[in-house]
A and B are shown apart, each in its own frame.
Chain A
Amino acid sequence: MTGVLQRQLRDFAVAALLAVAIASAAFVVVRNGDVVDAQLELAQRSAHAVASGQEALPTTHVALVGPSQSSTRHPILRHRDIRQLGEAADRHLDKLFYDAALRIDREHKGAFVEMLHDGTGRAIAATTRDHGPMIVVAVTDVAKPAPYPLLVMIGVLGLGALLAAAGALVGRAAARAGTLTGIATLAIPALLWHAWIAATAIILLAAATTILQRAELTDQFSSGMRRHRVALGFLAPVAVAMFVLVAVPFVIGIVLGFYDHHQGTWTYVGLQNFRDILGGGTGGLDDGTNFWFVLGVTVLWTGVNVFFHVTIGVALALVLSRSWLRGKGVFRMLLILPWAIPNYITALIWKGMFQGEYGAVNSLLHAAHLDGVSWFTSWSTAFSANVITNTWLGFPFMMVVALGALETIPKELYEAASVDGASAWQRFRHITLPHLRPALGPAVALGSIWTFNMFNVIFLVSGGKPGDTTNILVTDAYRWAFERGDKYGMAAAYATLIFLILRLLTILGSRLAREKEPA
């Protein structure tokens, strides 16, 4: 008996916690909305009262503001007469009245009412009068928000718990009914506050809990937690951290893609952002703001770089693995240097070297009696500059991986092959290559991902020049977020698309790798 009661209350507690959270959130939203509405209405009525010749309403300050007049000495300066009504004139409010009159004149709409943005919870309303140029402006005092209905919530919670417990004590079917009604009672306050969405959510939660209970999933889940509690304990810190730092921003990122951000306000636009991006924006296929163009550049960028990385890396590895070579350690140490240097520093060094008249690269070209190149004024040269930089810092990785793989090849194989009369090329194809492939495979995969996402080189070397055409997907996403008018919604949608592309590529890649692997 007590086991049943215990389990019932356990399920109720978990669901009730969620329900209380939903109800409280609903309360805050509704309450704030009510306060705002009351303040706005108060301000508007007070302004209209004075405009039609009556008294200002209590807890509001009203003033009459004259038209804008130019100063005689400095025509650029404009001033207005501000006459506060009532005995206690608060001079600090003068600026508010002035700004309101300014806005009336600018918008030509005759009146407006809104909340002040300074976080004080005051409303301001302004209106013109039928006769005369004066503008009436009313400002309310700070409003007190309604307190949290603690007693109501406790009462409802207690009632719900009673219902659930009673049901458990009666019988199985009654227990289910108890859960349903118990949790549903928490929807009552939400209904009272007219928070329909919250009320529906809580009722759905009640139904879901009941169904889970009926399928005995709650019991299974609970015993599963207990069985693996050691593992859970070990995993908990990382799970929490990953949830807060990765999962939440990730979900936020996806959600924001459905909104448009403009100067601090977010408006829901559905799939519009995605349509704009996939539609290629306003430019043609060769324009830097066209998604497909940037995708193409990114794919080309990745392919070219990985090709050079592997070719140079493997070639160097082959040379460095000659048994007769002296000073291997020194050569190897020097050749790894580009990889050891932080890559943003590398990018900046190469940016300096590619500088126009006196950059080192052009100086060398001059020394060889060739013309200097203006690296960042045409697409092909800017792209090449990026590729040269990234190749410089990327080949050591492939070289080291290849070296490691070459070390594992038993020398007897080569000896046997040359005894059999195989040429150098045949030895390479049939002995070296098969041993290289398993090591290079994952290395190429990793390298491709790194190159695909190589933000620093593109951002710092060419900076997307000329005219944003050398951007790759990740730098373009950054620019949407932080440089093209803070279009966060657009940037979020862009990032989601990039994520999907990357996921697709990695799935394809691993499938290819699995097929190629011999049994």
Chain B
Amino acid sequence: MNRAPRPAARLATYIALIVLVSIVLYPVMLVLKKAFEPGRAFALSASPLPHAVTLDHFRDLFGAKTGGGDFLFLRHLANSLVAALATTVVGVALSCTAAYALSRFRFPGRATGLQTFLVVQMFPATLLIMPLYVVLDKLHLLNSVLGLVLVYSTTAIPFCVWTLKGYFDTMPRELEEAARIDGASQWMIFRRIMLPLARPGIAVTALFSFMTAWNEFIMASTFMTDESKFTLPVLIQSSVGQFSADWGLFAAGAIVTSLPVMAAFYVLQRSIIGGLTAGAVKG
């Protein structure tokens, strides 16, 4: 639309947008308010402004300790960090080579392989949660971060392979062909030429894997019993459990946990959407 409408219509549009944005932002403002307002109930009034300001919730969040004197929140943060980092490393490391092979080589079963990766991505992890529970139990990996990393990798790998393959697809083949003429082996080409060039794609994939593992809640909650092994999402969810809801702690924890991933998300939006829809379109 190019012709600018009358000022009245323009004003109406702006007003509508502002109203809509306020509606969308309202829950976020409530959480911000709750994080700074004393008391454990969620909201005694609908106003988005706190009636009193306190840092108690943040103090409780960071200061909570176990009987042994370890800081709980730091433990949870460490658990989340370890799980997410390990998942990312495992996922990306294992997937690079496979994505390259799927992009560049022709071999029997390639099409089926691609199709499988796409299909596996679409199925909810919650379907596998029960057999994974039984498997982890037999391996005595329940209630351990290693078990969690293994499970998160099942969702990370298909996504990593798919996205990296798409990224490799966009890279020109001339460099590889030149290197092959010069006599370099496939592995050398991959390591010395493709990997360095693919760094931006790898970074995006890695960051997105990290975010997915960082935000995962239900598996961590099901597989972990010991509170000191909880990841951040489980901590936050258990602070508003059925019988003892501490909304102040929840709000503080929610803010601290989501800020990093939100920042990452904003940085990555375009790549994420590009990756998601391109994959679906190309099929």
Contacts and interface: CB of A to CB of B under 8 A. Distances in A.
Contacts of B262: 337, 340-341
Question: Chain A CB within 10 Å — which of B3, B25, B123, B237 has the most?
Answer: B123
B222 interface: yes
A166 to B, nearest CB: 35
A358 B43 CA distance: 6
A239 B215 CA distance: 26
A335 B21 contact: yes
Interface string B143-161: 0000000110110011001
A442 interface: yes
Contact of A360 (B46, B100, B240, B254): B46
Contact of B126 (A235, A323, A334, A455): A455
B254 A349 contact: yes
A188 interface: no
A230 interface: yes
Interface residues of B, number: 87
B10 A324 contact: yes
Contacts of B153: 241, 245
A54 B201 CA distance: 81
B2 A404 contact: no
A108 B113 CA distance: 60
A335 B218 CA distance: 27
A241 B92 CA distance: 12
A442 B281 contact: yes
Contacts of A499: 123, 127
A383 interface: no
Interface in A474-492: 474, 477-478, 481-482, 488, 491-492
B105 A249 contact: no
A323 B2 contact: yes
Dominant secondary structure at the B interface? helix
B43 A344 contact: no
Given A250-B131, A345-B254, A348-B254, A360 B30 contact: yes
Contacts, number: 236
Given A344-B233, A360-B46, A349 B27 contact: yes
A252 interface: yes
A224 B107 CA distance: 9
Contact of A344 (B45, B157, B215): B215
A455 B219 CA distance: 11
Nearest to A452: B124
Given A242-B120, A336-B269, A342-B215, 20 more contacts: A230-B105, A231-B101, A234-B100, A234-B186, A237-B93, A237-B97, A238-B157, A250-B128, A335-B21, A344-B236, A352-B247, A352-B250, A353-B43, A355-B42, A360-B26, A453-B124, A474-B126, A488-B130, A495-B127, A506-B122
12 contacts: A231-B101, A242-B120, A245-B150, A249-B135, A256-B131, A323-B1, A352-B30, A397-B273, A443-B280, A446-B276, A477-B126, A488-B134
Interface of B: 1-5, 10, 13, 16-17, 20-21, 24-28, 30-31, 41-46, 90, 93-95, 97-98, 100-102, 105, 107-108, 113, 119-120, 122-124, 126-135, 150-151, 153-154, 157-158, 161, 186-187, 190, 214-215, 217-218, 222, 233, 236-237, 240, 247, 250, 254, 257-258, 261-262, 265-266, 269, 273, 276-277, 280-281, 283
Interface of A: 224, 228, 230-235, 237-239, 241-242, 245-246, 248-250, 252-253, 256, 316, 319, 321-325, 331, 333-346, 348-353, 355, 358-360, 363-364, 367, 392, 397, 400-401, 404, 411, 414-415, 418, 438-439, 442-443, 445-446, 449, 453, 455-456, 459-460, 474, 477-478, 481-482, 488, 491-492, 495, 498-499, 502-503, 506, 510
3 closest A-B pairs by beta carbon, nearest first, are A442-B280, A363-B46, A238-B98
